[in-house]
Amino acid sequence: METAPDVRRLTAVLMADIVGYSALMGADQNATMDALRQLRGGLFNPIVDQHRGSITKSMGDGWLVEFPSISDAVACAVAIQTSLIDHETIRLRMGIHIGEVVFEAGDVFGDGVNVAARLEALAEPGQVLISDTAVNSLDQKTAALFQGGTAQKLKNIERPVGVWSWPEHQPFKATTDTKASGSAERPAIAVLAFDNLSGDREQEYFSDGITEDIITDLSKVGSLLVISRNSSFVYKGKTPDIRQVGRELGVSHVLEGSIRRAADRIRVNAQLIDTQTGAHLWAERYDRKISDIFAVQDELTRCIVDALKLKLTTAEHKRIGAVPTANPQAHDLFLRGREAVLSSANTKEMFELALRCFNRAIELDPDYAEPYAGLGHAYTREFQNKWLGIPNSLEHSQRFVDTALQKDPEMPYAHYLNGINKFWRGEQAASHAAIERALSLNPNYAMAIGMRGINAVNSGTPLDGIPDLERALQLEPRAGHLYTHFMGMAYLLAQDFDTAIARFTERIEASPGTDLSRGLMISALGHLGRVEDARKMRDELRGINPDYSFSEHVGRLPLTDASVTDMLLDGYAKAGLDD
């Protein structure tokens, strides 16, 4: 296996740690885990996103977060600490430094990390400590909010470091001078599921697919925070108060609309609404031929950008204006196939439907990249589920993914699938690189965020993957059952068997045909000595797949530690069951 070179860059690093984590877990583990889930999904992750941060590492009781500027890091830290002042359970310590970091073998090192970690350890609950290097990089207005500057000798840091503090009681107002601070608060938008007015429920895939394409196009605008479909589709089929949507999703604007399709014509109505006032900032109706659907999406995206007074970069102009195919029937087939391959009905029938749709789309337009990626996705699912019993499904998948990337090197979907395939091949560094590339093209790509979490689950520190899996679950309901499965696996590998069983139970309810979730649940039950429950689960498993072999299935998992495989097999054996 080829070793990936290390990556070095100068960046702003924030280290955050939960105060008294062990004591909290010891006092009430379930309540603490619930509080942490709410903290991650409802506060920490969204605020990090709003300030252009990237959670590089999660340690269960803490985070390492990167930012493109020190102003972003400071504004994010203070916003989080301010939000937690009245929290009943969770308090955080934070340290910030700007310096070189090194990414190597799935981990991160360097001066930026070391100094930030030492500052975080010095901080009081609710406090933010930053280095002299960091404070000297801030504009004067923001730097004036910090006190101190006394040089201190930090453990394993050669030079003395001047330490500056922001106490929790001191108010903070981020500067609006983007030239000085390098950070202006981005507008945030949610795209609600467009109503299908075609009078045919069979067209639901089309209205949902177009809505998802609009979300994807808007996600390419770096100065705009876009809520993914898991959050926005909660309101599908409802008539919510837009102001309430704004409060619940934390967005400044909502896009809503409808789609009517008849023969070769399409009518799209869309309106952009300010969630603070409920006022319509912009509205438009498009009556076009179905062949103009990409032009409609392009115009709609640019109108929203203009209404929000944003400026597109040259790269964003190019990405938004790209037309993947000139054949509307091929695009329609791709939408059908994508709906099938992402369906929670994880069945051979859905797999075969996806193959028919993608192959027919390619017949109609051999240069259309997305159906090749769709075939890659379908064969990856076949590799995992063995519907056809062929030995080389992963090779089929990689061939189609490579073709997709040749035809469109900037397709996030194809880079994500490339990351999946490298994951199953055990090439963790290459998988991580592919996933990071997908996220660089679409930072709100839920499936790629989930895959980053899955990589962490299998890398030897399973609980590090939980934040990304929870974030992905929040963003994308279609694949939610899969993320729930890997949460169960994370807790099983961490030997938290009760929590693992709870997650596997949720996954089985969402995807009744799953076999591996049942097999892993049997292992967890065996470790707890719940033999009768394990036997009932084995009966269910045999009913679904009479030829299922747990040892064979586990043997295909790309686990980095052989002792982990032994632990899984040992739990199954403790249930008193033959494989």
Domain positions in the chain are: 7-181, 188-321, 325-443, 452-579
Secondary structure class of 245 (helix, strand, coil)? helix
Q: Which two tokens stand for residue 442?
A: 């679409």
Average pLDDT over every residue of 62-74: 90
Query: What distance in Å separates the CA atoms of residue 129 and residue 17, rounded to the nearest whole number?
Result: 12
Contacts of 357 (CB under 8 A, 6+ apart): 333, 334, 336, 337, 340, 371, 374
pLDDT of residue 186: 61
CATH of 188-321 among 3.40.1160.10, 3.40.50.11830, 3.30.413.10, 2.60.15.10: 3.40.50.11830
pLDDT range class, residue 475, cuts 50, 70, 90: low
Instruction: Answer yes or no: is pLDDT of 378 > 90.
Output: yes
Query: What distance in Å separates the CA atoms of residue 408 and residue 405, rounded to the nearest whole number?
Result: 5
Pick from 133, 141, 33: nearest CA to 90: 33
Query: What distance in Å separates the CA atoms of residue 144 and residue 347, rounded to the nearest whole number?
Result: 60
Furthest C-alpha separation in the chain:
74
Residue 309 burial class via C-beta count within 10 angstroms: exposed 0-12, middle 13-18, buried 19 and up = exposed
Average pLDDT over every residue of 185-192: 79
- DSSP letter at 40 equals I
Instruction: Answer yes or no: is pLDDT of 72 > 50.
Output: yes
> Lowest-confidence range among 45-49, 260-264, 270-274?
260-264
> Lowest-confidence range among 3-7, 412-416, 450-454?
3-7
Instruction: Answer yes or no: is pLDDT of 444 > 90.
Output: no
pLDDT range class, residue 230, cuts 50, 70, 90: low
Secondary structure class of 434 (helix, strand, coil)? helix
DSSP of 481-509, one letter per residue? Answer: HHHHHHHHHHHHHTT-HHHHHHHHHHHHH
Contacts of 547 (CB under 8 A, 6+ apart): none
Counting DSSP H helices and E strands in the chain, the numbers are 27, 14
Residue 147 burial class via C-beta count within 10 angstroms: exposed 0-12, middle 13-18, buried 19 and up = exposed
CATH of 7-181 among 3.40.190.10, 3.30.70.1230, 3.20.20.105, 3.40.50.170: 3.30.70.1230
Q: Left if phi > 0, otherwise alpha if psi is -120 to 50, otherwise beta: which for 94? A: beta
pLDDT of residue 106: 60
Secondary structure class of 31 (helix, strand, coil)? helix
Which range among 222-236, 347-361, 376-390 has the greatest average pLDDT? Answer: 347-361
pLDDT of residue 344: 66
Q: Which two tokens stand for residue 117?
A: 């970690």
- Does the predicted TM-score (pTM) go above 0.85? no
Query: What distance in Å separates the CA atoms of residue 419 and residue 498, rounded to the nearest whole number?
Result: 31
Q: Which two tokens stand for residue 410?
A: 């900037």
User: What Cα–Cα distance (Å) separates residue 306 from each residue in 169, 272, 512?
Assistant: 39, 11, 46
Mean pLDDT (the chain, rounded): 84
> Lowest-confidence range among 112-116, 179-183, 232-236, 461-465?
179-183
Percent of the chain with pLDDT over 90: 29
Instruction: Answer yes or no: is pLDDT of 345 > 80.
Output: no
Query: What distance in Å separates the CA atoms of residue 550 and residue 522, rounded to the nearest whole number?
Result: 10
Instruction: Answer yes or no: is pLDDT of 380 > 70.
Output: yes
Classify domain 452-579 at the CATH superfamily level.
Tetratricopeptide repeat domain (1.25.40.10)
pLDDT digits (tens, 9 = 90+) for 479-525: 568 888 999 999 999 999 998 998 899 899 888 888 889 999 999 99
Tell me if domain 7-181 and domain 452-579 are identical in fold: no
Classify domain 325-443 at the CATH superfamily level.
Tetratricopeptide repeat domain (1.25.40.10)
Pick from 398, 399, 394, 325: nearest CA to 363: 325
Contacts of 476 (CB under 8 A, 6+ apart): 228, 229, 230, 446, 447, 450, 483
pLDDT range class, residue 568, cuts 50, 70, 90: very high
Q: Which two tokens stand for residue 364?
A: 């109609």
pLDDT of residue 305: 87
pLDDT digits (tens, 9 = 90+) for 85-136: 878 788 899 999 988 788 775 667 787 888 898 898 888 888 999 988 888 7
User: What Cα–Cα distance (Å) separates residue 95 from each residue in 101, 142, 152, 251, 470?
Assistant: 15, 16, 14, 28, 25
Q: Which residue has the higher pLDDT, 148 or 332?
A: 332
Query: What distance in Å separates the CA atoms of residue 261 and residue 556, rounded to the nearest whole number?
Result: 45
Pick from 369, 414, 372, 420: nearest CA to 394: 420
Instruction: Answer yes or no: is pLDDT of 170 > 80.
Output: no
* Tokens 């269910």 -> residue: 540
Percent of the chain with pLDDT over 70: 92
Instruction: Answer yes or no: is pLDDT of 457 > 80.
Output: yes
pLDDT of residue 168: 41
In the beta sheet, which residues pair with residue 195?
258
b/e sequence 192-219, b meaning 16+ C-beta within 10 Å:
bbbbbebeeeebebbbbbbbbbbbbbbb
pLDDT of residue 255: 93
